[in-house]
Structure 1
């Protein structure tokens, strides 16, 4: 076993801000998010994304079909308006019936207005330009088609005053218009969706009844044909209409076109009952598919249904129920038994048990009391808690977690990207294949054209790639949602898929494999200095540090430290601290600090962290601080090895004796100790050479001092980072508890998700391939072809929902 060393404590190392993993360093880049309501075609979503990524000044565009969200990264703030206008027009060209609205930024207030009587497009542009030049408005957009104005007001601005100013500006430019603020109603969409589904079912019922009437009663051929046509028009007119609109816009290869050509072609070759029946079958499949997709969306999002609805704000001794967004730092809130804690803060009164399962996945309640920190999203079980708010809602734990999970599916897995590209070429190839099937065989064999046209039409129906384009994003989204329910936050499908190929797992020690709870276990003074005196020097020197070792020394000292006695404070990264205490130069740190300052010291061999103290460059002694290994660390290493992880490594800043001892107890493959932060990165670089070509290297740290290594690893995992801004920023995966065993759980979830995704791919392609062959040789009919489209999609969507069950 190879063994080196690092510094007693990773210890007196200041947190390093993580450099972003994005390659886009353009300071003028802005990010905008839009909701695309009514986007029900996964293939169209892929087309929109592909086109938007080709728009000038778009750094990156992502369309999330699952959440119906568009994310746009615009390279230049000055061109944002033009880019958004072009993007909106492009989306409307591909999908005219969708509604596009920008999502409200957590930093700004969004307001929407209806502008009735606005009949001049040029005037609309003037209003928009004028508002965008107005101080306090970060963004303004006038939609001349819908006659609506959307503005974003800077957080620092006076909202009511600015709204009045907006009205005044519009009235000066267009005196005859009527301006009305649009009040948001969060229930409208769900109600509308339910009404639309009811209308579809009623329409389908009427069409099906007319179809049954034509088939069951012995009418004349003309009446039967009329009934089949009426049934077809009632059920399928929207499909044909969409197809015609798409052709007009140059968007040919989609499911509407395929179904229209297939069924109209069936009428043309006198297959009247089959033409109408196939459209009926297709529509019932679409209705069921829509219901299944919406239910899966709701099921996945309900896994993170932890957003608090209100806060009990205490004002002058009375409680007022308000939105969490309206509570400020320093305000006092009261949480009653059974309520969710709405904001992060400190308990100033009360004792209770809290349920943290929504955040951590742990069912065992935890005790909370006066002086305890408490996180938003947990549920107060029995006591009455009075809390002083320490973070605004936008910066609270719950807000960050919700934002992280909701945006996770924007980072697509390689499999998703492959399927999107595959669908782009697959459908046109099949369409031209169908054309060849309709023309070439009858010319070669002399058969009737109608036989081969029927087969070609059936061939077309099978070709729609919706089963793959819909179910695969749902599978990854379900896996991410299921993981979050277990206290594992995965920042994207790309990271979830990468967890399938982990070769090497590298651990930090303090706070990751060990508790990070230090206690002074030994005080050894030298040169006639007493125990209390040595501890006093160390406590005063550490009084400005937040590191666990500093905390343990201050706890052991147990008295109030008068910081005005400390001057010339200097924290030397990777070494320790240098201060002036009542005019005396005091050094507190590791052996490297003593060597650097030319102080002769005792070389101590112990399993604890050793903090050396020198006064006026004379050695004063040392203090030993010990940490404890977490209960499930050994089990975590065992589980990882059972999953096929090739190597487990620990990098620590602690001394060699501690590193070796921990490594032996946990059965790690390698340990490297006494490493400075940059040396950790060097070790990661060396370990990269040992992994396989497709293998991934994971680094697991506490998210405090490990940002450079978290950023450099293929996958960075932050341990116990539920309240750590640094962890959430730096890592790709955040384990919300302090349990290393959750790493193995994350890998299991990743493997299960990939298994479900691969099942969908193999199942969909296999069924389609078989049906294409059967249809081509005349064994399969249009009925089987429709099953190959909507039936397979429905089954794949239902299978994707299993990913939410995690393990």
Structure 2
């Protein structure tokens, strides 16, 4: 039985550590393609057995979270929002801290301090205690265990001191309250910052939340875009957003497709042209026939692709995940060891020993490790998407590190696929205007892409007009025609051997009028792209099914030294394999014949106007046909990987340095709680720099 994707909405995740505990649970259950995002409150996984779903939901709720029906998602209650919990706790914690600075006698009263601390401790028990208990019960202790034990130890120690009337040296109510308040503040920062890292997907989702003008029997009704059915006729006016994918059945318009391609210059659209949901009509009015709606629309597929991409972990993250998974038990042992050694070996006393142990637990947050990779990946994927580059997975970013070779297909990749006349060689007795007129008259009667390109190009040049009586296409050969004076013409592949670059010959009454060299034009940024790759130490390679002479000419123009011409799909596969053995290899292509090579390369890159099979085979899709996107993709990937490594270094270094300092007694628990929250902010802030960082 084929595996199916299951999507659940889970509330109650207040930090990345919560998401990690659900992730570990699902992996323990043997589920595949697990994605848990605490920012979007989504849990996804694949399973072939749908009958296990009720038990999975029960297990997730056993961890202290709540699985809700997407259709009936209730707004988070006021008292359950982490921001409101922080504000509530801060109000009571502030006077507790002030007693250390102000001489007001009543603030030093143990009962007053207990009354101020108790509401904060209750919030801490409900927020961290429930999660800590559930994680311990399921054998997966999380960070909340450390926070709860640390704050509870300080509170219970102070409570005993108050009941026994042992004096001010036994009162650490401010420590218990401050730990809880500062960790809640860290949760607030984390939630808000991670929301920013996922903004690219959320911005795209906003494009789906629009209305559509449906035309029925001449009248127009306004409906939600999600209610549009395939086959509906929709009216899209100037300034409106195109609600779904469709074909234009009437009207003309200029569309801003920046949302899809990253290109801000409006694109002219007319009858029969395709439009994409989410693009905006800047000028004009059109009627469209809805073709792709709901989950089949381009926008929905892009959103789904980006969500899946965030789930695919780069190998560099596995180290962080492994450390984080054993971190809490190790820290508890270190804290216990700190208490025992300080108490028995140094005669520091119960109070000092306990404070040192609490400081170790509070400062040892593994959240920064858990956030290091996903935040950088989300921002990197979002920045790429804004530039019209869709990356199918965070693991792709690491796959392109240290790329040695970039293999290019020719037609439609380095060239536009739009043909033009490179040379016309006239035979004696004929002039150029006459020949242009004959070519235009004949090719106007053909539907072939080359014919359309030639007619469009020749309109700009002077020509001698010709009126044809008949014209017919001979498949695989060319066009035969007869003019009103009874002259017979043939325009097509040469009957006699000609130099390789002349691929069309024109005859009148079996006498050759001219030889014509036709080729597709090189894309504007092709030469610049090749130069930039070479500068970066990457070897560009041309792999094409086209004739050797034309491949050599293109390669010489662009500065490509390594050429493989007249390649069949299986030959391209062998070439990719050959380079793959020498080093990291990227394949850029657009045709059906490129699909095997795209799959076989370390990373396959496909153009948006490519065949569907090429898009499915590739791990990167360039929505903008500008070749500069290839360099932008490599640069964003490089800087995302640099950011991940910086984040992991900071997260590991922080814990390696902070834990011994806390264990030796140089750090009190309140400073530890602040430092712990600050470490998350540093990691997330470094990831957010990717949004504006210069990557060239």
Alignment of 1:284-683 (within 5 A): 284-298=185-199, 301-302=202-203, 305-307=206-208, 309-519=210-420, 548=449, 602=497, 604-606=499-501, 610=503, 624-642=517-535, 644-683=536-575
Q: In the alignment, what sits opposite 2:57? A: 88
Distance 1:702-1:252 versus aligned 2 partners, 3 A rule: closer
Tell me, yes or no, if structure 1 residue 98 matches structure 2 residue 71.
Answer: no
Q: Distance in 1 between matches of 2:477 and 2:660?
A: 76
Distance 1:558-1:650 versus aligned 2 partners, 3 A rule: farther
Tell me, yes or no, if structure 1 residue 40 matches structure 2 residue 14.
Answer: yes
CA shift for structure 1 position 801: 2.0
Pick which of 245-254 and 458-467 moved more: 245-254
Tell me, yes or no, if structure 1 residue 67 matches structure 2 residue 37.
Answer: no
Q: Distance in 1 between matches of 2:542 and 2:582?
A: 15
Count of aligned residue pairs for this structure pair: 647
Q: In the alignment, what sits opposite 2:488? A: none
Instruction: String of CA shifts for 1:393-438, please: whole Å, max 9, x gaps.
Output: 4333222222222322121222233322220122322221221222
Q: In the alignment, what sits opposite 2:580? A: 688
Q: In the alignment, what sits opposite 1:242? A: 130
CA shift for structure 1 position 803: 2.4
CA shift for structure 1 position 516: 0.6
Q: Distance in 2 between matches of 1:675 and 1:520?
A: 25
Q: In the alignment, what sits opposite 1:115? A: none
Partners of 1:38 and 1:99 within 8 A in 2 = no
Distance 1:343-1:629 versus aligned 2 partners, 3 A rule: same
Q: Secondary structure at the match of 2:5?
A: strand
Distance 1:459-1:213 versus aligned 2 partners, 3 A rule: closer
Distance 1:558-1:708 versus aligned 2 partners, 3 A rule: farther
Q: In the alignment, what sits opposite 1:211? A: 96
Alignment of 1:738-749 (within 5 A): 738-749=625-636
Q: Secondary structure at the match of 1:739?
A: coil
Partners of 1:351 and 1:384 within 8 A in 2 = yes
Q: Distance in 2 between matches of 1:350 and 1:560?
A: 33
Q: In the alignment, what sits opposite 1:196? A: 81
User: What 5-or-longer segments of structure 2 have no aligned partner?
Assistant: 159-169, 428-434, 459-465, 479-490, 507-513
Q: Distance in 2 between matches of 1:299 and 1:400?
A: 14
Instruction: String of CA shifts for 1:351-376, please: whole Å, max 9, x gaps.
Output: 33221111111122222234433322
Alignment of 1:81-230 (within 5 A): 81-82=51-52, 84-94=53-63, 96-101=64-69, 184=71, 188-189=74-75, 192=77, 196-197=81-82, 199-208=84-93, 211=96, 216=102, 217-219=104-106, 221-230=109-118
Partners of 2:86 and 2:181 within 8 A in 1 = no
Distance 1:612-1:446 versus aligned 2 partners, 3 A rule: farther
Q: Distance in 2 between matches of 1:561 and 1:727?
A: 40
Partners of 2:82 and 2:184 within 8 A in 1 = no
Partners of 1:656 and 1:674 within 8 A in 2 = yes
Q: Distance in 1 between matches of 2:467 and 2:235?
A: 32
Q: Secondary structure at the match of 2:188?
A: helix
CA shift for structure 1 position 523: 9.4
Partners of 1:727 and 1:734 within 8 A in 2 = no
CA shift for structure 1 position 337: 1.1
Q: Secondary structure at the match of 2:34?
A: strand
CA shift for structure 1 position 341: 1.3
TM-score (norm 2): 0.82
Q: In the alignment, what sits opposite 2:183? A: 282
Q: Secondary structure at the match of 1:39?
A: coil
Q: Distance in 2 between matches of 1:185 and 1:396?
A: 24
Distance 1:415-1:304 versus aligned 2 partners, 3 A rule: farther
Distance 1:259-1:384 versus aligned 2 partners, 3 A rule: same
Distance 1:434-1:185 versus aligned 2 partners, 3 A rule: closer
Q: In the alignment, what sits opposite 2:678? A: 791
Partners of 2:90 and 2:181 within 8 A in 1 = no
Q: In the alignment, what sits opposite 1:162? A: none
Q: Distance in 1 between matches of 2:468 and 2:358?
A: 86
CA shift for structure 1 position 687: 1.0
Distance 1:89-1:231 versus aligned 2 partners, 3 A rule: closer
User: What 5-or-longer segments of structure 1 have no aligned partner?
Assistant: 1-26, 104-183, 570-575, 579-587, 592-599, 614-620
TM-score (norm 1): 0.72
Distance 1:612-1:376 versus aligned 2 partners, 3 A rule: farther
Equivalent position to 1:263, from 140, 151, 168: 151
Instruction: String of CA shifts for 1:61-102, please: whole Å, max 9, x gaps.
Output: 33234433222221x3xx3212x12321221222x233244x
Q: In the alignment, what sits opposite 1:737? A: 624
Partners of 1:211 and 1:231 within 8 A in 2 = no
Q: Distance in 2 between matches of 1:652 and 1:49?
A: 44
Q: Distance in 1 between matches of 2:589 and 2:470?
A: 31
CA shift for structure 1 position 724: 5.1
Instruction: String of CA shifts for 1:629-671, please: whole Å, max 9, x gaps.
Output: 01111111122223x2431001111111110111011111311
Q: In the alignment, what sits opposite 2:658? A: 771
CA shift for structure 1 position 206: 3.9
Q: Secondary structure at the match of 1:483?
A: helix
Equivalent position to 2:23, from 40, 49, 54: 49
Pick which of 31-40 and 744-753 moved more: 31-40
Q: Distance in 1 between matches of 2:128 and 2:205?
A: 39
Partners of 1:214 and 1:228 within 8 A in 2 = no
Pick which of 229-238 and 476-485 moved more: 229-238
Q: Which has the higher helix share?
A: 2
Q: Secondary structure at the match of 1:627?
A: strand
Q: In the alignment, what sits opposite 2:463? A: none
Q: Distance in 2 between matches of 1:225 and 1:233?
A: 12
With a CA cutoff of 8 Å and minimum separation of 6, indicate the structure with the bigger relative contact order.
Answer: 1
Distance 1:478-1:746 versus aligned 2 partners, 3 A rule: same
Q: Distance in 2 between matches of 1:295 and 1:737?
A: 25
Q: Distance in 1 between matches of 2:295 and 2:54?
A: 28
Partners of 2:121 and 2:180 within 8 A in 1 = no
Distance 1:521-1:233 versus aligned 2 partners, 3 A rule: closer
